[in-house]
Structure 1
Amino acid sequence: MGCTSSHSARVEDEIPKSQSVIRSAVLIQKWYRRYLARAEARRRCTWTIFQSIEYAGEQNQLKLYNFFNNMLSQMDTDALGQPKILRALSVSQRPVLIDTKTLEEEDNELLRLSDPDTIEVESTYRGVHLTFPLTQAQLQSLIKSFKTKQPLHAKYLIQLLLETRAALKQKANINYATTSIAKQMTVCGDLHGKLDDLYMIFHKNGLPSVHNPYIFNGDFVDRGRNSVEIAVILFTCFLINKNEVYLNRGNHEDHVMNLRYGFVKELVKKYSMHAKRVIRLFEDVFSWLPIATIIDHKILVVHGGVSDSVDLNFLATIDRHKFLSILHPPRGENDTANLTDMQLREWKQVLDILWSDPRGQHGCHDNTFRGGGSYFGPDVTDYILSKHKLKRIIRSHECKPEGYEFCHNNKVLTIFSASNYYEEGSNKGAYVKLHGPDLEYQMVQYMSSKGANRKVTFAQRVTRVESSAIINLREKILGSKTELLEEFRKLDPEQTGKVNQYKWCSVMGCVLDMDLPWRTLRPKLARCDENGMVAYETTFEEMRIYHRYSGNGPTVTEMLYRQKDNLETLFRILDRDNSGQISMEEFEEVIQLLVKQQNMNCPLDQISDIARSIDLNHDGRIDFNEFLEAFRIVDSFGKFSEVQQQDLKSISSLDSIMTMKNCSFSMGTKRRISNLDDIKEYRP
């Protein structure tokens, strides 16, 4: 009896114990799921910030051409009655409706300007010496040379571009690729100057060959630091394997985009003596890139997407070379109004191919987020595929967290090959292999950065990327501080310094024109009191815009900081000789028009003071690198330690910033100097 009772007692004790263990396990699971859900919500919010800032910049770029035209109509004229700035116009602004003789003359002028025989290779040059026709061994030598930071000499770069141009001119607007020999095809998306990602693709998938064909779907350049090297490698691959390497044009193979997003700046830095001819030649080569590729008459590969008006048969007939820039309609002999419906249709279809994005809603309408191209829904995809007897669309143009994304019932695949695009750990890169008679998908993902090998948890990666996104967002907020404060104070008639959260979110969204989850972001940007009222001035508390010349007032400083990307683009258009300098008069004219565009009241003497503050050596020329370096985001009220102040004083030019790796700046200073692309990698 005793034994039986003892056994029963033990069983009764074990039942509640096991229930407790199960209950604990369930609680842990719930906590962990909640933890992951919150981390995922933070990741999505961060992603939205990065994309909103990126697309806002592209939208501004599209508007820049109209602004530039307004400038032409308002600026002082020269002795011939033409706007002075017109002398500096890029070749991309030339009229496209010109006769054959003019085209031939322009072609001869380009070849004369780009004559490689006028360039001597120095005896000190240790890079690759190209000979044509190119070989696979030379391709491997180029890759090895670029890995050791050895650039290609200007003479060989120009020779390569001329050979590429001649080969591309023989290609149709739409490539027709086949897998009949290789039984496979690899499609890569945006690379954006990220050379390590291209190396990763070749490491995993092999170099292009007859049995390993590739399609590179646009956006080879801009944003990254090695756009030149990527273009050289891709053009070399194309020249070696003209029928196995297909190059589609992206929206960044565009001279005006290159002025803003870094490629022109990179060319000037790497080929300063020969920058003019190299830039001009790249611009022309980009205009000869095909618009689309069709694989086995089944899959359409385009950079952006389609619209309900896209007609591939019509696209095949246009002169793609005349679209040196897609950011504006082609100009007639006098103005855009003289264009025929046919010419506008041509431009609109090319714009849609390069700039459009898919959306889940049916229909087709203007892409207001980017400012160009169209949004196209599943019904539009079905219509285009049915019309041209195709099965799927592969496109790029949008960064995706996993490097790829399916939509429209898996009939549209977005592929993006630049990993860590926004920030270290922000996204994977990917490429797609198509194989078999039905061209089945095989996705390959990677993350090429050095940090990818470190063991970083999902939450740690989210925190790091989130911090970078918040810094970028604060910069946008500070650029509109005056406008934001004006709107807050309208909603705060008693001047309490506080508004409710709804009003705070409404003002932030309306003034910045950014559709973000402001209620979620509020704790990271502004403080609330115990009643939930937002102290709106705390939105600007942690950082402020610094400019070494303080006499221009906060409003003008904010305007110049907010417009610095537009200013840089205009500056590079004006800087015909790529010297990095323009005249004081030209700079003042640009500032005056920016002030007028912003509806600001800024006296002319203040604008002159701004210009003089930049002209430190009083030679009547503006060094724009110095102008850009003069703007910084710093701690509010200038609360720097003595060490940080000394660090700031030691950064006196853009050249010194470019060599920060060799400087022993404090980490605090590296955190605070965050507005220049050249030093963003130094944020901890």
Structure 2
Amino acid sequence: MADSDIKAATALKQQGNKAFSNHDWPLALDFYSQAIEKYDRDPSFYCNRAQTHIKLEAYGYAVADATTALEFDPSYVKAYWRRAIANTAILHYKDALKDFRAVVRKVPSDQNAKLRLAECEKFVRRMEFEKAIEVADPPSAFEGLDIASMVVEEGYDGVLLEEEMTQEFIDDMIKRFKDGKKIAKKYAFQIVEAAKNIVYDEATMVEVQVDKGTKLTVCGDTHGQYFDLLEIFRLNGYPSDTHAYLFNGDFVDRGSWSCEIALLLYAYKWLRPNKFFLNRGNHETDDMNKVYGFEGECKAKYNERLFKVFSESFSALPLATLIGDKFLTLHGGLFSDDKIKLDDIRKLNRHNQRQPGQQGLMMEMLWTDPQTAPGRGPSKRGVGLQFGPDVTKRFCENNGLEAIIRSHEVRMEGYEVEHDGRCITVFSAPRYCDSTENKGAYINVGPELKLDFHKFEAVPHPDIKPMAYAQNSSLMSLT
């Protein structure tokens, strides 16, 4: 290897560092990858790229890069640290535990490392305890919940909610949430129960048409970023009888207004069940909610019982929406088997399996991602798989589709059209987690079934950090 190549590779790494400091993760990733192509023996190149993968939530790739860095330098503390953070993010706590222990052994004076280790040990114990007491078919969280007898808290000064949702209540709730107030616990339980009953009776793949004189807006991940959700409505119009909305999963976790978003979306579902649609995302699941903040937020703002009824309602959500027989909209992506047809989704009984598990149709619908290379590949996340343009083309042709619309991944411009126009990603959480300088986007669909893309910027919000309610928020830190 010539010195000039090493010098050029180091210069590329420095450009990557600059892009990273500017929160431009995709550009940083490109520079680090170019550096590795020039010179593939420097562990810092891999370690820096691992940190970039973490920022992009490509945790499986981060684990691989940190492991490569450690093969070159087994004493590289940052590589142990980053591999531990990546494994924590994909719930591989026992693997993370080994690396946190390695960091503490190598830097015994690092108090932060000791804290992370203690939190990881605590979380492993908790997961093992919960697994030990797990019941195969737990009773409904609504069982014994007498909402009718609940009393609205004294001093509640908002609009009252009777037996049916009203636009007046929603308008008042939107303002209350903006002002940092809550709704009565009774009303929160009413909203979740009503929405759960509605979505439970919907098909696993909801099929909608866009009638003349109406439009449908498709939104991607909102991740507890309530004020950015309101910005979508301000720019694009609030839900109405002629303006339907579809939210494509990941309403909760990460951002610290997940209760507000979930309750607002459910209230709209109750008010306009045939004009407001919700797909399940990979964060509408117990494992993710326990780690990424929603469980803790429910407990802090309302109580643990509310989280349990939300959990049950999430498992009732549809997994996909077919728009005008042309666009299959689902949170993650396509499948490990080319034989899967729309009828397989229609026939999937999602009520027999509350959580997606590690394999199968539901897991793939919630977790998979597109890749540029043909065929299928291992997941960059460490969960699910990746599918290439040829896979998308075959699926669309076999099912008479124009394209699939999915979410699940940050896109710097808020959306991306790839796989020769057949795979569209839309992401609606701008400046994701207050650290990624991405735009948000949404898609308007009219009766002609043409896709109209709109980008928008993040708006200011109260000074509450992402993951504020996660019990192990410091353990999950991406820094």
Q: TM-score, normalised by structure 1?
A: 0.51
Distance 1:118 1:88, change over 3 A: farther
- 2-side partners of 1:425 and 1:308: how far apart? 31
Higher Rg: 1
- Tell me, yes or no, if the aligned pair for 2:440 and 2:457 is still in contact at 8 Å: yes
- Return the letter of the residue paired with 1:249: R
2:281 to 250, 253, 269: 250
Match of 1:419 in 2: 430
Q: Is the 8 A contact 2:250 2:283 kept in 1?
A: yes
Q: Where do residues 424-439 of structure 1 align in structure 2 (5 Å cutoff)?
A: 426-437=437-448, 439=449
Among 119, 126, 131, the alignment partner of 2:157 is: 126
Match of 1:295 in 2: 323
Q: CA deviation at 1:129?
A: 2.6
Verify the 8 A CA contact 2:199 2:316 in the aligned structure 1.
Answer: yes
Partner of 1:320: 350
Instruction: Please state if 1:95 is matched with 2:105.
Output: no
- Is this contact kept in 2: 1:217–1:396, CA < 8 A? yes
Contact between 2:17 and 2:28, CA under 8 Å: does it hold in 1? no
Question: Where has structure 1 moved over 6 Å in runs of 4 or more?
Answer: 36-42, 65-68, 83-87
The equivalent residue for 2:399 is 388
Percent identity (aligned): 32
Question: CA-to-partner distance for each residue in 1:593-650, whole Å, 9 max, x for gaps?
Answer: xxxxxxxxxxxxxxxxxxxxxxxxxxxxxxxx8xx88x9xxxxxxxxxxxxxxxxxxx
Candidates 375, 379, 383, aligned match of 2:386: 375
Q: Which residue of 2 aligns with 1:170?
A: 201
> Which secondary structure does the structure 1 equivalent of 2:443 belong to?
strand
Identify the residue that residue 362 of structure 2 maps to in structure 1: 350
Q: CA–CA distance in 1 between the matches of 2:209 and 2:86?
A: 34
State the partner residue of 2:58.
Answer: 55
Change (3 A) 1:138 1:58: farther
Shift of 1:146: 0.9
Structure 2 Cα separation of the partners of residues 300 and 130 of structure 1: 36
Task: Give unmatched runs, 5+ long, in structure 1.
Answer: 1-35, 69-82, 97-102, 330-346, 452-564, 573-624, 632-674
Asked if 1:445 is matched to 2:455, the reply is yes
- Corresponding residue number in structure 2 for 1:340: none
Q: 1:436 to 1:124 in 2, by over 3 A?
A: closer
Distance (Å, rounded) in 2 between the aligned partners of 1:443 and 1:315: 27
Decide whether the 8 Å contact of 1:134 with 1:239 is kept in 2. Answer: yes
* Structure 1 counterpart of 2:268, from 237, 240, 245: 237
Larger RCO (alpha carbons 8 Å, 6+ apart): 2
Unaligned runs of 5+ in 2: 1-14, 30-48, 60-84, 97-124, 462-466
Please give the alpha-carbon distance, in whole angstroms, between the structure 2 residues aligned to 1:140 and 1:112: 30
Aligned to 2:224: 193
> Does the alignment pair 1:210 with 2:241?
yes
- The corresponding residue for 2:413 is 402
Q: Quick check: 1:128–1:145 contact (8 Å CA) kept in 2?
A: no
* 2:251 aligned partner, one-letter code: F
SS in 1 for 2:187: helix
Deviations 1:324-364 (A, max 9, x none): 322x35xxxxxxxxxxxxxxxxx511111100100111112
Could you give the per-residue CA deviations for residues 311-331 of structure 1, whole angstroms, max 9, x where no partner exists? 3312222221343322x35xx
Q: What secondary structure, in the 3-state scheme, does the structure 1 residue paired with 2:335 have?
A: coil
Distance 1:356 1:440, change over 3 A: same
C-alpha offsets along residues 49-79 of structure 1, whole Å, 9 cap, x if unaligned? 45424332675454548889xxxxxxxxxxx
Supply the AA of the counterpart residue of 1:413: I
> Is residue 114–residue 277 contact of structure 1 (8 Å, CA) maintained in 2?
no
1:58 and 1:239 map into 2 onto residues whose CA distance is 38
Closer, same or farther: CA 85–179 of 1 in aligned 2, 3 Å:
closer
Question: Which residue pairs with 2:112 in the alignment?
Answer: none
Q: Structure 2 counterpart of 1:52, which letter?
A: I
CA RMSD across the alignment? 3.2
**Which structure carries more helix by proportion?**
1
Mapped to 1, the partners of 2:191 and 2:239 lie a distance apart of: 18
1:111 aligns with one of 142, 156, 163: 142
Distance 1:386 1:307, change over 3 A: same
Contact 1:59 1:370 in 2 (8 A): no
1:40 is displaced (CA, Å) by 6.6
Task: Name 1:363's counterpart in structure 2.
Answer: 375
Work out whether residues 87 and 93 of structure 2, in 8 Å CA contact, stay in contact via their aligned partners in 1.
no
Give the Cα separation in 1 of the matches to 2:264 and 2:369.
Answer: 28
User: Which secondary structure state, in structure 1, belongs to the residue aligned with residue 405 of structure 2?
Assistant: strand
